[in-house]
Amino acid sequence: MKSNVARFWREIPQRYNLIGNKCENCGKVFFPPKESCPICRRNSIGKMKELKLRGRGQIESYTIIHVAPENFEEQVPYPIAIIKLEEGPKVTAQIVDCELDDVKIGMNVESTFRRIQEDGYIGAIYYGYKFKKCD
């Protein structure tokens, strides 16, 4: 259990700010960040620069979860979507503040900071990004 909490805290910048990185060689943007560009390979060493993503994108695909994994049972039903961010990377995230029938492919969304779950064993509340409809 402790290793999960430690890993979560190490990932706070990515979870709270959508911090990715960009290869200065080819311009490809990654989220989560990569050590080196899989396109440029060796030519990208030392050329991966941190980039704060704007957190805006479009839903490319989605599904409605009716049978949730452990610790998420109270949230069902809820939509999970694959979102293509404006900068290029794709993320999977929950869609919030939206009726289930209003979720559509092509819908513009933006990231928002929300409670993800609570660890009853140690009492930690985990926060991170979800997405909501935007204009």
Whether 18 is covered by a domain: the verdict is no
Whether 114 is covered by a domain: the verdict is yes
For the question of whether the overall pTM of this predicted structure is more than 0.85, the answer is no
Kindly give the confidence (pLDDT) of every residue in the chain, 135 residues in length, as a single tens digit, with 9 standing for 90 and above.
445 555 555 566 555 679 999 999 999 999 999 989 999 887 777 889 999 999 999 999 999 999 998 878 888 999 999 999 999 999 999 999 999 999 999 999 999 988 887 776 677 777 789 999 987
DSSP letters, 106-123, are T-EEEEEEEEEEEETTTT
Output the pLDDT for position 89.
Answer: 97
Whether 86 is covered by a domain: the verdict is yes
Give the CATH number, domain containing residue 69: 2.40.50.840
Whether 38 is covered by a domain: the verdict is no
Q: CB-based burial of residue 123 (10 Å sphere; 0-12 exposed, 13-18 middle, 19+ buried)?
A: exposed
Whether 91 is covered by a domain: the verdict is yes
Output the pLDDT for position 4.
Answer: 58
Work out how many domains the chain is built from and give that number: 1
Two tokens, residue 67? 């049978």
